Structure 1
Amino acid sequence: MNKVAITKSTTKSPASTSQQALWFLIVGASAALVHFLVLVSIVSFTAITPTWANVMAFLLAFIVSFFGHFYLTFRQPMQAYEYDDQKQNAKQNFRVFSWRHSLPTLIKWFASSAVGFAANQSLFVLGLNWFGEHYYIPIWIVVTGIITVMTFSLGKLWAFKS
């Protein structure tokens, strides 16, 4: 069988910064919604404190964030994959998630997200200490807004940089 190496997808040009910012807000809002709903659910239905509930909520929201940014915000050119001649036409226009090829991006995005979360968690705990746990929802909203710009920059300039 003949093998064909596909090195880059030429069907789409890289998204502009404004398109990326829009997708970043949409994906980020989706991940933030997951984060928020998990946080509120854990605090409401368990004896876990908001500080620890926020950590658990972050981990679940990270999954939404990574795949949303991987496929929508920071679309990458296809990596070099080999396909049989018959499979080439069917697969060349799809970006395939492959652990082998996507792991470096996943690690960098997790590092970016972890830095963002560390800043988020620090400000969140500081806000809880200043205003009390009763105000955890408005504190979370303000802190999340502050951290958004930082994580967009890390994603665009480092984690998903092609």
Structure 2
Amino acid sequence: MSRQIILFILVGTLAALTHWGIVIALVQTLSLSPLLANLFGWLLAFLVSFGGHYWLTFRSQNAQFLPALARFFLVSAAGFAVNEASYAYLLNNSGLRYDLLLGLILIGLAVLTFLAGRLWAFRRT
């Protein structure tokens, strides 16, 4: 397995755990709805994910910081839109617990995030 894939998995796992943990904490401690908590979880996970991918995973691609930040934000925001829409639909129609459902969705989006980051967000300009 390549170093880049290993770093992607480590950074992605840390970001996903951040996202998931924030959602669980906000739902359980502040009684926020899972969908609103999901927004806050995504925002914090975005910071973890971008920093880790910029300085570790895709460092060798030498992307400029601000263009990479803007492109990765677009990738991440698009992923969050899919995440939130899927989450809303499945919360109302699946009968699964909110925490388990979010974990499944986060895993599903990880592959798409890697491909978009590698091929577009962190490419050299």
Across the aligned residues of Structure 1 and Structure 2, the Cα RMSD in angstroms comes to 1.7
* 4, 11, 28: which one aligns with 1:44: 28
Q: Hey, what's the Cα distance between the residues in 2 that align with 1:78 and 1:145? A: 27
- What residue number does 2:97 align with? 135
SS at match of 1:48: coil
Deviation, 1:77, is: 5.3
Structure 1's unaligned 5+ residue stretches are 1-16, 80-100
Matched, 1:58 2:42: yes
| Partner residue in 2 for 1:70 | 54
Amino acid at match of 1:150: L
List structure 1 segments (4+ residues) > 2 angstroms apart after TM superposition. Answer: 76-79
The answer on whether the counterparts of 1:109 and 1:160 sit within 8 Å (CA) in structure 2 is yes
Query: How far 1:116 sits from its partner (Å)?
Result: 1.0
Question: TM-score, normalising length from structure 1?
Answer: 0.71
Query: In proportion to residue count, which structure has more strand?
Result: 1
What secondary structure sits across from 2:123 in the alignment?
Answer: coil
Shift in CA distance, 102/67, structure 1 to aligned 2, threshold 3 Å: same
Shift of residue 22, structure 1, vs aligned partner: 1.3
Which of 146, 151, 156 in structure 1 is aligned with 2:113?
151
CA contact under 8 A between 1:62 and 1:113: conserved in structure 2?
A: yes
Distance in 1 separating the partners of 2:119 and 2:14: 22
Q: CA deviation at 1:120?
A: 1.2
How far did residue 47 of structure 1 move? Answer: 2.8
Structural mapping, 1:12-31, within 5 Å: 18-31=2-15
Between structures 1 and 2, the one with greater helix share: 2
Identity %: 39
User: Greater CA radius of gyration, 1 or 2?
Assistant: 1
Choose the corresponding residue for 2:77, options 101, 106, 114: 114
5+ unaligned residues in a row in structure 2: which ranges?
A: none
Distance of 2:15 and 2:120 partners within structure 1 = 20
> Matched residue pairs, number?
124
Instruction: Using structure 2 for the length normalisation, give the TM-score.
Output: 0.91
